[in-house]
Amino acid sequence: MRLLSRKATCNTHGQDSSYFLGWEEYEKNPYDHIKNPSGIIQMGLAENQLSFDLLEKWLANNPDPAGFKKDGQSIFRDLALFQDYHGLPDFKKALVDFMAEIRGNKVTFNQNNIVLTAGATSANETLMFCLAEPGEAFLLPTPYYPGFDRDLKWRTGVEIVPIQCTSSNGFQITAPALEQAYLEAGKRNLKVKGVLVTNPSNPLGTSMTRTELNLLLNFITTKGIHLISDEIYSGTVFSSPEFVSIMEILKDRKCDNEVRNRVHIVYSLSKDLGLPGFRVGAIYSNDELVVSAATKMSSFGLVSSQTQYLLSALLSDKKFTKNYISENQKRLKNRHRMLVKGLEKGGISCLKSNAGLFCWVDMRHLLKSNTFEAEIELWKKIVYEVKLNISPGSSCHCTEPGWFRVCFANMSEETLDLAMERLKRFVDSMSEISSHQMMKNSRRRSLTKWVFRLSFDNTGREPEDR
């Protein structure tokens, strides 16, 4: 008799991906500039630690919310006892206003259309439960966040069909790629229920163009399917082009309710505010049935009332949010510049990007061969020898070997400098080995020619093949 469920014993969680394996190696030997200076530096974690001082300063200046007080009086009992899966109205209002502010107030959000979840992970899975049956499919452009294999598929039974994007156009979505993915799903007898995109992209660090967004809207309108826009990195856009939300495209095109109801947004405070430990995510949908179903499902992943109360006060402080958004983007831009310059010193380039907490780095020239086996071989050297945990493109389902996601916002400037020094030494050593091998090959060819000439001179004819 089976003692555990199939779900408990299945191996479809994705934990054996190189994305997660790199984390495991880091946890065994984490870098610390004093305790373990030769340890592995974590560059596989998309975490924003650049603006904690702004948050801590606000907390110091506003002790009541952090102490669960209102007008100097404790409301701890009320917060500890109250838990409604609809969420605190004040927090939902503050959250939708913050989402609008990030988008330059070009669009507005209705707090009645938002569902609170325990992070974007929960939000994406909840939408899968709401929009698709087990065995149905969503199309995702490659490369995509490795965690989606877990978030979208593991418990829901929903399938992912990749939209194959390439470096030839900066990995942008094209109409032929969309149609090809749709046809591929049909060949696999999978009913397509929608498309899911991350905007800005994880792992590319680029915001989607208006052309791509319009293309997506045309596609889902023609096919009669859903579109999920995961906009968890919307507040991290630090340079042009500026961020354009799918909500702005819907507004500009004056889309009817039938189309609007099939477009859903996922958001979280994990990246823009750097609060992944608070587990605050959200679904925004114009479809009342989706909002109702997702709200009921949110019982399995609620945001604590204490967290909502604290963040309601913080996000309602417009002077703070305006300064935070601006300053955080400046810091991200400076740190991004540091990484790009550090890579350039090692002869490594990356995709031009304008958002996110990472760069999409091109190491194809360091591969022994143009294969994913060679990519993993290089990745292992970088993890075990260089002691940097980065994410190989194959873990993101990239179609081209040799691309890597490298994070830059979860460490100090000194640690980033050290990481770049390590990488440069490694690349230089590879160049020396390559040059040495070329010299050996050149000598071998010269010796072969000398033996050939000597043999020809002695016999008067060419040597026989043996």
The residues annotated as belonging to the active site are: 145, 230, 232, 271
DSSP per residue, 412-441: -HHHHHHHHHHHHHHHHHHHHHHHHHHHHH
Which residues touch 446 (CB under 8 Å, ≥6 apart)? none
The length of the chain in residues reads: 466
**Would you say 116 and 90 are in contact if contact means Cβ atoms under 8 Å apart?**
no
Burial of 126 (0-12, 13-18, 19+ CB in 10 A): buried
- Tell me the backbone φ, ψ of residue 187, rounded to 5 degrees: -65, -30
**CA 408, 414, 415: angle at the middle one, nearest 5?**
55
Task: Specify the residue for token string 């990246």.
Answer: 271
Contact 318, 293 (CB under 8 A): no
Spell out the alpha helix ranges (H) of 156-287: 175-187, 210-223, 246-253, 257-260
How many Å apart are CA 203 and CA 403, to the nearest integer?
A: 10
Rounded to whole angstroms, the Cα distance separating 174 from 314 reads 40
Decide: 42 and 26 in contact? Cβ < 8 Å: yes
Tokens of 459: 């016999």
* φ, ψ (nearest 5 deg) of residue 405: -95, 130
